[in-house]
Structure 1
Amino acid sequence: MRSEKGVVRACMTTKEKIFPKCRKDPESYRTVVPAGKTVTIRFKDVKPGDYAIALLHDENDNGKADRALGMMPKEGYGFSRDAPVRMAPPKFKDAVFELGSEPKQLTIKMRYFL
């Protein structure tokens, strides 16, 4: 995390068509935690399945991903499996991981474009 300002918004979904904007998925798992040098996020009561996670470091806590020139992210982002971001957000298949009945721990690196 480049700063301790704002919050980290986390969203985990099984739905390929809406990833990474899974806040539109009523069945997704979402949480918001205060930003810090490192952040631990826990999703509770998650059913086994294939999931992808998207994180947003919402530094001004306005509930959206701010952009410069309408396209370049001004705030940090991260995805499960360190899915690559090229000219667009990553595809679900690049971020997907399998979750069984046992708890799973992932490390997600935050990236900042500006």
Structure 2
Amino acid sequence: MTRFLIKLIINGVILVGSLIWFTEATWGSAILAALGLTVIAYLLGDQVILRATNNTMATIADAVIAAIYLWAVSRVFNWDLSFGELIVTVAILGVAEFFYHRYLGLNDVENAKS
């Protein structure tokens, strides 16, 4: 549960900030979008892809998931999210995900030593 909460905080800060900055999203809709992305990315990216592959593949998968999700959500909520703004947001999320996955790997090594 701690891993999910860490991911929620990381994605929440980045995504809510980006959506508020780049679009006309309300705080509530931005938080809802961040929560949705976190759940999907955690289940697919962290629980399936990261366990089956490596950090690089999971980071790329999380970025692709984020791009598709944000494109779809921006259409549903009728936000004016340009392609450039989408790429900037996804790139920031990707960098954060890389370090988050690295943290998970280091944490797993430390737990294995104990």
Q: Report the TM-score range of the alignment, normalised by the length of the smaller protein.
A: under 0.3
Rg bigger for which structure? Answer: 2
Q: Please identify which structure carries the higher strand content.
A: 1
Q: Please identify which structure carries the higher helix content.
A: 2
